[in-house]
Structure formats: C-alpha cells, structure tokens
Homo-oligomer: A and B are copies of this chain.
C-alpha cells in the first residue's frame, strides 16, 4: 500500500511536507505543493484513516445505533439525513442495530468504542422513550426520535407530534367537520398519546362535545406483532347512524384500512367521509386514491439536524442536555372536502 513516505520520496520532500499538503496547512511553497500533489495523483495515494486516528485520537466517525430503524420502512429517512450531513462534512458512519436486544446494545457500544468513534446517534424507529444502555461511558450522544427515560440525561431531538395533530384537527374543523372519528395508534408509541391529546384539546377549544367524537383503538400489543382492529373499528364507526364526516387515522398505514372500510361500506372519499393520516409515508399516502392529506414526520431533518447537533456537542464539548422538537408540516392533498 502506498503511504505518505512513498509520496515523499517520489516528490523529493520529507513526509511532514506531504502531510502539510494533505491537510492544507500553510507554509508550503506553491511549487512544492504542486510537486507533492502530482506525486499523490501518480501514486494513487489515499490517506490511511486508521493511522491518522492513532495520532490525533479523532476518528471522524459517528456511530448510529438503532433499534429496528434500518429495518423498517418508516424512519429510514433519518438515516439518510444523517448520511447527508456526514458526507458534507467528511465524517464516516458506522452503523449497527440492536434488533431490540439489550445484550446486543452493550456489544455495539463496545464495538463503537473500539473504533474510537467521536460520537453516537441513538435512533429509534418509533417516537418513544428509551433507556440507552450506554452506562459507564461518556461518548457524546444525541438521541433521535426518542428521549431518555431517566430525566434529561442526554440531548434529544424529536418530532412535534402534538403540533402535527393539532394542525390536522384544525384543518378538519375549519372545513366544517363537526363529527370526527379518531382511530388510535398503538398506545405504546409516544406519538399515540401526544396526537390524541392534541386532537382532544383542539376539538375542545373549538367547542365540540365529547359526544361528537368517536375514538377507537386501532392497534395494540408489541410492535411488529400487534393486534389490528383498524378495519373493524373503521367499519363499525362508518356504519353508525350518526357516522363521522371525517376520520383521523393514527398514521398513513392505518389509513389504508380505513379507505377500504369506507369503500366497502359504499362510501365515497372524500364526499361521504374525509380522511387524514399522519406521517406522510409516501409509499402509502401517494398510492391511496384520492391521495392522502396528512402531517409529515420530519425524519430527514431529524437525522440531519441530529448529526449537526452531535457534531457541536463533540467539538464544543458542551453536553448540556436539552430537548429539541421539529414540527410536522401539514401536507394537503385530496382526501378531505369542505362541508
């Protein structure tokens, strides 16, 4: 493998000079610089990160530790956001996922440390509260799409489920809907409570009574193996005499079943029932016809800003834990009509 020494020889300079050129340090004649650069090109020299790291004790690598993210369709955009930030700033990404197993998590932290990564992004697939097994170690960490269980130990960056659901609810109210159905997300998800809470409050502020609402549980049980009541709940809801004129779905995926339930019941969307989702999981929200009005979970930004934040935590060594929130933009499409 061609090293800095071979380049130095080829260019007829010392290795330190080559190092200077590589790192863009000053105090090198334009002439020498060019000779060195030519040698680098000729020999196809590529710096060895491992060696560099040994000296500088900086790996320029971030670790991503996920539960199932890399595994699930929903939040992959977080990873994309991180990657984009990383390669704009010359960082590399080491990635591992726990598959939900705590013992794996411990191994991963060890692996990360053995690579002397500069920091960790702790990412979850669903917005939730977690207990990172980090333990003893004090690697700078930023949590993405989740928050630490034990108080505010670590910085975290999360979607604003509350605001998203509030905007969606207002959107329906402003369009004249007064009987609104709501099919709930699995309660073990943090978003479930936040969204439902936003819905309830907004509707109340607007003066609707609890009896105008029809709230059903869509799913429950462990993620990945949940009981699914969505289709049944929607069907039942829509066959009531005073059926809602609009339904808020816990998320876009559940909206598929609501669409099918509505159509099967002979109702047209949106003329007979309006439907809104949550997430803007485009594989679904754009495949549904009419296309689904929904609130977009800011996954990409969560990742991008999370990486940026981690970087500043690392360099400024300020570990002031705090919580940041990114808003969910309402995406208006065709599944809602005004009354």
A53 at the interface (CB under 8 A from B): yes
Residues from chain B with Cβ under 8 Å of A259 in the complex: 260
Tell me which of A31-39, A111-119, A147-155, A178-186 binds B.
A111-119
Count, chain A residues at interface, CB 8 A: 59
Given the interface pairs A70-B83, A283-B283, the reply to whether A289 lies near B257 with Cβ below 8 Å is: yes
Known: A70-B80, A93-B94, A263-B264. 10 other contacts (CB 8 A): A50-B51, A71-B76, A71-B77, A72-B76, A73-B73, A73-B76, A92-B96, A94-B94, A228-B286, A256-B284
* 8 Å CB interface, A18-55 against B: 44, 46-51, 53-54
Contact assessment for B288 and A256 in the assembled complex, using a CB-CB cutoff below 8 Å: yes
Given the interface pairs A50-B49, A94-B93, the reply to whether A79 lies near B70 with Cβ below 8 Å is: yes
A256 CA to B256 CA in the complex, in Å? Answer: 8
Total copies of the chain = 2
Which residue of chain B has its CB nearest to the CB of A254?
B287
**Most B C-beta atoms less than 10 A away, residue of A44, A50, A70, A96:** A50
* 8 Å CB interface, A224-279 against B: 228, 231, 253-254, 256-257, 259-261, 263-264
Question: B70, B84, B111, B114: which contacts A48 (Cβ < 8 A)?
Answer: B114
Residues from chain B with Cβ under 8 Å of A254 in the complex: 287
A35 CA to B260 CA in the complex, in Å? Answer: 67
A312 at the interface (CB under 8 A from B): no
A318 at the interface (CB under 8 A from B): no
A95 at the interface (CB under 8 A from B): yes
A108 CA to B91 CA in the complex, in Å? Answer: 11
Residues from chain B with Cβ under 8 Å of A107 in the complex: 87
Residues from chain B with Cβ under 8 Å of A253 in the complex: 283, 287
Contact assessment for A47 and B92 in the assembled complex, using a CB-CB cutoff below 8 Å: no
A317 at the interface (CB under 8 A from B): no
Residues from chain B with Cβ under 8 Å of A287 in the complex: 253-254, 256-257, 284
A-B contact pairs, 19 of them (CB 8 A): A1-B57, A46-B110, A48-B116, A49-B115, A50-B50, A50-B51, A70-B76, A71-B80, A72-B73, A73-B73, A73-B76, A76-B76, A87-B104, A92-B94, A228-B286, A256-B287, A261-B289, A283-B283, A283-B284
A286 CA to B94 CA in the complex, in Å? Answer: 32
Residues from chain B with Cβ under 8 Å of A77 in the complex: 71
A216 CA to B213 CA in the complex, in Å? Answer: 43
Question: B1, B80, B114: which contacts A46 (Cβ < 8 A)?
Answer: B114
Distance to closest chain B CB from A218 (angstroms): 11
A83 CA to B99 CA in the complex, in Å? Answer: 10
Distance to closest chain B CB from A315 (angstroms): 18
Distance to closest chain B CB from A75 (angstroms): 10
